[in-house]
Amino acid sequence: MTTAAQSDVFSKLCRIMSATQFDAATRQDIEQFFAHCREGMDTNSEKLLATLYLKALNQKIHSERIGENIYLGKYDISQIQLFNILIEKFPFVKYSQQITNNAIVAEMQGEAEVTLMDIGIGLGTQVLNIIERCKSLDNLKKLHVVGIEPFGDALEKAGKNILAQNGQAPFEITFTGIQNSVENIDLTSIPGLGGKIIVNASLALHHIQTDAQRQATIAQVKALNPGAFFLIEPNVNHYEPDFFKRFVSSYHHFSNIFQVIDRIENVSNDDKNALKLFFGREIEDVIGKEEQDRFEKHEPATHWINRLKLSRFNIQSEALSGPVSAGCGVEIQYHKEGFIGFTHVEETVLAIIYAN
C-alpha cells in the first residue's frame, strides 16, 4: 500500500463524505468510485476499507445503487477460526487481554475469596484464561464470577464453561449471570459479592449510550469499593456528533487496524480480509446509522479517565507491565494521561486503564 494510493483514496472519500446533498450526480460518483475500489480490493487494504465506508454511506443515504450482497461468502471463514485469529494473532486483542489478565491475577495474590465481575462477559473466554492462571494461587479458596451480558445465548455458554472448571481448579467457583446491559443494573444489589471485588470491562462500556449513563455506571462500580477496575477501550472519538469529523477520526483508526492485520504472519490473505470485514460492522454503525441508532460510540481514553476521577477512582495504569512491542508494528507504552496505549505509526488505537 503506497502513500500516494492511500492519499488518493482518502481524498476521494473525504470529498464524498463531506457532500451536503446526495443527488443523482453524486450518487453516480459514489457508484463509480465504489466500482474502482472493488477492482483490486482483495489485495489492497485501502480499497477494501473504502468499499466498507461507501457501503455504510449507502445505508445512510438509502441508496440502492450499491448491492448489499457484494461480500456475502467472499471471505467466509468460521466464527471459531476468526475468533482464534483475534485471540492468538491480532496484537490489540492478544496483548491487551494478556496485560489485563496478568494484573487481575496479581490482584488476587494472597486473597482467600475473590469476586470477579466481568462486564460484557461474552462467551467467558477471558475469564476462563484468568481461571487457568489462578490455579497457581496458593491462598485462593473461592472465586465468584459475576457475568453481565445482554445476549442470553452467550451468557448461558459462559456460565456452563466457567462452572465446568470446578474440580479442575483447586478452589471453588460460583457463577452469577445477569442478562442485561450494565447501565440498567443496580450493581450494589447483586447477591454474593464476597471477598475482594475486581471489576473487568473489556470493550464493553462504549456501548452505553449517554454520557450520564456512563458516569452513573462508573459511580456504581465505585460504590462496590473494588480493589481494582480494569477497562479496555478503543482510543478514538466515535462519540463525535459531527458526521465528517467522525468519518475522519474513524478512517485513521480503521486504516491503522487494517495495516496491522496486513502484517500478521502465517495467516492467509482471505482470512485477513475476513478479519477486516469483521470491523466493517463497526464502520457500518459509525457511518451508516442515524445518531439515535448507533451502538459503537467509542471515546478517547482521556474521557474515560476523567469520568473515573470524577467518581474518585485513583488511576494506576503506570503499574501495568507488558511487552514494549506487540509485533506487526504495534508499540505498547504508558501515556502520561493515565493509560497504556497500543500505537501503530502515530495512531494510538487501543487503551488499557487500571483504577482503584
pLDDT tens per residue, range 154-177: 999 999 999 999 999 999 999 999
Nine-digit cell string for 91: 496484537
Q: How confident is the model at residue 1 (pLDDT cuts 50, 70, 90)?
A: very low
Share of the chain above pLDDT 90, in %: 67
Express as a percent the part of the chain with pLDDT over 70: 93
Q: Using 50, 70 and 90 to split pLDDT, how confident is the model at 71?
A: very low
Q: 142 with 131: CB under 8 angstroms? A: no
pLDDT of residue 2: 44
Query: Rounded to 10 degrees, what is the CA torsion of 147, 150, 154, 160?
Result: 40
Of 106 and 71, the one with more pLDDT:
106
- The mean pLDDT value of the chain amounts to 90
pLDDT at residue 201, rounded to an integer = 97
The DSSP code for 297 is: -
Determine the average pLDDT of the residues in 72-87. Answer: 66
Q: Answer whether CATH 1.10.1740.10 is correct for domain 89-235+298-355.
A: no
Per domain, the residue ranges of the chain are: 3-74+243-293, 89-235+298-355
The answer to whether 45 and 262 are in contact (CB under 8 A) is: yes
pLDDT digits (tens, 9 = 90+) for 339-353: 999 999 999 999 999
Distance, CA of 50 to CA of 37 (rounded, Å): 7
Average the pLDDT over 263-281 and give the result.
88
